[in-house]
A and B are shown apart, each in its own frame.
Chain A
Amino acid sequence: MKVLVTVKEVAEVEEDFEISNGEIEETYLEYDLNEWDDYAVEEGVQLQEAGDDVEVVAVTIGPERAEETIRMALAKGADRAIRVWDDALGDAGLLDVEAKADILAAVVEEEDPDIVLSGVQAADDAFGGTGVALAEEVGFEWAAVVNALDTDGVLDDGIASVRRELEGGVEELTDVELPAVLTIQTGINEPRYASLRGIRQAQSKEIAPKTLDDLGLDASVADSALELTDMYEPESESDAQYLEGDAGEQAAQLADVLREKGVVDG
């Protein structure tokens, strides 16, 4: 059985940052493995550990820098990795859901996985659509916002019995036929830390670079109807009353507020 895990390197913004030309300046960004994808990687590795002959392949769309992130997936147990990049993607600006789904679909066609695990959303652009759009594109079944997966069902019966976490503390139980794409919600498992041994082993695992051409795609795949035309810090709607001073003074005022509101005596 083959598990394909889609991972994304996401940018995190530092506390103070500046925007110029519709972008956050590079110096204010730090890169990391997308939180939701970390759980997807763990779920893939758990399938691999529970089954015989399960291969986990991680795939990312990203520039060379993203190898650092995909190596984290390898260090945690993925067997090999694919990194798709192309100058055309670098030039394209916004890679929308459709572009990502098209590119990943080409990888799915090449790899022919039984199950694809992807994060519910990416912490940076938060489109939350790639996994489900990919499923539709390749004709797989899918389930979004999965917070529990029955591993035996996947390995033995070709059925993914999942829980989908709906709003308000309600979970939906759903069975989907493989091949399927599942978008993984945080909390489904406990992502492991990469061990030193894992990190060492990751050095010798393959990260296959692929261009659009390698995947039988051309630059037009990056064409998007969506254009990001502006980025700004939202105007603060805050009418909060700020408690000033050092921590002791702030705490004293805070205590007064709590007494005033009648929720704490003394």
Chain B
Amino acid sequence: MSDVLAVAEHRRGELRDVSFELVTAGRALADATDGDLHVAVVGGNTEEFADALNREGVDQLHTVDYGEEFNHDVYVQATEALFGDLDAEFLLLPNSVNGLDYAPAVANKLGLPYVSDAVDLAYDDGLTATREMYGSKVETTIEVAEGPYAVSVRSGEWPAAEGVGDAEVSAFDVDFDEDAIRSDVTGFEEVGAGDVDISEAEFLVSIGRGIEEEENLPLIEALVEATDATLSSSRPIVDNGWLSKNRQVGQSGKQVTPDVYLAIGISGAVQHVAGMKGAETIIAVNTDPDAPIFDIADYGVVGDLFDVVPALIEEFGGDAPDV
């Protein structure tokens, strides 16, 4: 019998979706090994969080009352102590930004092999994880022969656990070493406000690194004008300073839900897709027929944007600038 410990994530008073996805992933592993699923929540309003996390399939809930928000030093200590106390076989953490900030440290501290960003997990005498490499161009299977195991899971890959569970809730006391808490979260700030709100747009023309040079942006702007669309982009365009942060679609940018999302020269990296997969219709223009964006597109145009976009501008009676 091998137990699973999954650690929930919350921010500014709310549990994040990945917490419920971890419950689903954890339950499957626990079933495969006939074990129990333990879910921990550290900091914040633990009572309320435990209530919400008490979904079908959870055997035990552990609350650690310490602090309001995520602090990696606290999370490392709490997770290490609880995992040791439970003598669990699997540690499941989110591959979120905060997951990136403590999962590798916990794994290292506990001396566990660390598999990050898993998109699928199977157990049969050993753990098999599926992960992506090279910007989602390939999938790999990773086998870990011997546990205990530490795995961070990609959000959005497992369905959120539903239903109401009857888990036992108990407070877990950690003897925190205060001297080892040397990072101090001093606040939060919303960024990316500005003149436009791309999350309100019905039609987004979104541009990625395929545009190559800032000098080529007027071509896209002409399309935006001819179609009365709103301009958005993938991250590199914003990183380069060609567009402001409020135009960025994705995990660290904005979540958008337009009627039509026209992705031009965007590969479809997972962090980008996280922000736009809710679009009603997705159209992708890309030279690479194997670009991951085509996996989620409703319409695909395999072609060079420098040919397709001018032609499209003309369709709507606009003038394509020379670029």
Interface residues of A (CB under 8 A from B): 11-13, 15-17, 19, 24, 94, 96-98, 101, 120, 123-133, 135-137, 141-145, 163-177, 183, 186-187, 190, 224-234, 236-243, 246-248, 250-252, 254-255, 257-258, 261-264, 266
A160 CB, nearest partner CB in chain B, Å = 9
Docked Cα-Cα span, A224 to B142, in Å, equals 11
> In the assembled complex, which residues on chain B have CB atoms less than 8 Å from the CB atom of A229?
128, 141-143
Docked Cα-Cα span, A239 to B294, in Å, equals 8
> In the assembled complex, which residues on chain A have CB atoms less than 8 Å from the CB atom of B143?
226-227, 229
B92 CB, nearest partner CB in chain A, Å = 15
B69 CB, nearest partner CB in chain A, Å = 8
> In the assembled complex, which residues on chain A have CB atoms less than 8 Å from the CB atom of B11?
166, 170
Docked Cα-Cα span, A214 to B315, in Å, equals 66
Would you call A187 and B108 a contact (CB within 8 A)?
A: no
Whether B45 sits at the interface, judged by CB under 8 Å, is no
Given contacts A230-B141, A231-B138, A232-B138, contact A173 B107 (CB under 8 A): no
Docked Cα-Cα span, A167 to B100, in Å, equals 12
Would you call A11 and B105 a contact (CB within 8 A)?
A: no
Query: Inter-chain contact count A-B, CB under 8 Å?
Result: 273
A100 CB, nearest partner CB in chain B, Å = 10
Chain A at the B interface: SS class: mixed
From B29-37, B56-64, B167-175, B189-197, give the one contacting chain A. Answer: B189-197
Would you call B185 and A227 a contact (CB within 8 A)?
A: no
A177 CB, nearest partner CB in chain B, Å = 5
Would you call B104 and A254 a contact (CB within 8 A)?
A: no
Docked Cα-Cα span, A143 to B97, in Å, equals 11
> In the assembled complex, which residues on chain B have CB atoms less than 8 Å from the CB atom of A177?
182-183
- Contacts of B148-195 to chain A: CB distance below 8 A: 182-192
> In the assembled complex, which residues on chain A have CB atoms less than 8 Å from the CB atom of B323?
none
| Complex partner residue of A236 from B132, B245, B294, CB under 8 angstroms | B294
Docked Cα-Cα span, A89 to B279, in Å, equals 45
Given contacts A168-B252, A227-B145, A231-B140, contact A123 B104 (CB under 8 A): no
Instruction: Give the size category of B's interface with A.
Output: 35 or more
A120 CB, nearest partner CB in chain B, Å = 7
* A162 (CB) vs chain B CBs: closest residue: B183
Whether B253 sits at the interface, judged by CB under 8 Å, is yes
B137 CB, nearest partner CB in chain A, Å = 5
Would you call A97 and B229 a contact (CB within 8 A)?
A: no
Q: Which of B114, B134, B144, B262 has the most CB of A within 10 A?
A: B134
> In the assembled complex, which residues on chain B have CB atoms less than 8 Å from the CB atom of A261?
259-260, 280-281
Would you call A128 and B303 a contact (CB within 8 A)?
A: no
- Contacts of B302-320 to chain A: CB distance below 8 A: 302-304, 307-308, 311-312, 314-317
Would you call B101 and A143 a contact (CB within 8 A)?
A: yes
- Contacts of B234-261 to chain A: CB distance below 8 A: 235-236, 238-241, 245, 251-255, 258-260
Whether B124 sits at the interface, judged by CB under 8 Å, is no
> In the assembled complex, which residues on chain A have CB atoms less than 8 Å from the CB atom of B128?
229
- Contacts of B247-290 to chain A: CB distance below 8 A: 251-255, 258-260, 262, 280-281, 283-284, 287-288, 290
Contact with A along B55-76 (1 / 0, CB 8 A): 0000000000000000010001
Docked Cα-Cα span, A264 to B239, in Å, equals 30
A29 CB, nearest partner CB in chain B, Å = 9
B248 CB, nearest partner CB in chain A, Å = 8
Would you call B191 and A169 a contact (CB within 8 A)?
A: yes
Would you call B105 and A135 a contact (CB within 8 A)?
A: yes
Given contacts A228-B142, A229-B143, A238-B300, contact A175 B133 (CB under 8 A): no
Contact with A along B187-227 (1 / 0, CB 8 A): 11111100000000011000000000000000000000001
